[in-house]
Amino acid sequence: MAEWPELEPELRARLALDPDGFEAMIDAFLDTVPSLPADAEWVDRALGYPWERPDGSYVLDADRVVPLGEAAQPGRSAVGEVASRAHELADGPAEVVGALRMAPRQPLLAVGSNGAPSTLVRKFAGLTGNDARILVETGWVADLDIGAVASPTVYGSFPATPIESPGTRVRAALLWPTPAQLAALTWSELSYWVGRLDGHPFTPGDGTPPVGVYLIYVNRWGALRLGDERLALAAFEARARSARPVTQRELLDETAPLWLGTGATGDDLLARLATDHATTRRALAPLLRPLAEPFSPPGWTPLPAR
């Protein structure tokens, strides 16, 4: 991964905002968030983050999810750029992976909902051809864990961001986006930097070659800590985890009293986030962000501002 991705100047300018400019952008965005009913569907979506995903590696072709083993079958037409090489696929998934890892695609580690097909379908809406097709490999990342951002989202969840964790191996997804897909993903990650991570190799579970350097989104607000405890999202499987695993329900229940007082529950906080998101986020910011842990391992390099 020798080259940085090419992103349009407007997107680079957003990524390069200083803290004051970034907070002004977020403040303006909050004023656009509508009031929503905190109904059962909304609550289920908030608690279900990072949402359903296949157990193994897959190819997403528009809105079709093709397991990697099925994509490797000769004559499989659902994988487009691989189908033209169907006669080469007799040896199995490695050839599909090789074809969908080819430049100008670059590896991008998904520590949150970008590993879920429903998220990718939504974010790639309007893209066609090879830009509507992507390989998503599942596997394990070394010396890393997945924490919760020190701020909730418009859909009520505490989203994911990486945290350092020597000795831990966490299950995550590695995407291979085209330039157009990477731009679509990066535009959608409003509060995240994009950069390069080295020293935390990703080992796919399908037996294909590991990847040592990849792009990754890192939240600008950092990962939430409560008391002296580092937290990890329980939705992501991990081995030798040192941070305390928490569910979305537990995160909401434990943060609600910080603003709403003793006895407040996650349901109370979800109702506020749905019906008056801007006021709730602005009230939570000075309470949660001082508790955040930044991400700054030696191998992390944000995308240069140029």
* Domain CATH number, residue 99: 3.10.490.10
When divided into structural domains, the chain yields a total of: 1
Q: pLDDT band at residue 92, thresholds of 50, 70 and 90?
A: low
In a domain, 2, yes or no: no
Residue 93 has pLDDT above 60, yes or no: yes
b/e 259-275 (16+ beta carbons within 10 angstroms → b): bbeeebebebbbbbbbe
Distance CA(260)–CA(280), nearest Å, equals: 10
Q: What is the mean pLDDT of residues 266-285?
A: 97
pLDDT given for residue 72 in this prediction: 63
Taken as a whole, the chain contains a residue count of 306
In a domain, 3, yes or no: no
Q: pLDDT band at residue 95, thresholds of 50, 70 and 90?
A: confident
Q: pLDDT band at residue 90, thresholds of 50, 70 and 90?
A: very low
3-class secondary-structure state, position 160: strand
In a domain, 187, yes or no: yes
Flag the least confident range among 77-86, 178-187, 204-213. 77-86
pTM to 2 decimal places: 0.92
Range of the domain at 16: 9-302
Distance CA(214)–CA(161), nearest Å, equals: 15
Q: What is the mean pLDDT of residues 235-239?
A: 97
Flag the least confident range among 11-15, 71-75, 78-82. 78-82
Q: What is the mean pLDDT of residues 93-109?
A: 87
In a domain, 217, yes or no: yes
Q: What is the mean pLDDT of residues 189-196?
A: 97
> In this structure, are residues 64 and 78 in contact, taking their beta carbons and an 8 Å threshold?
yes
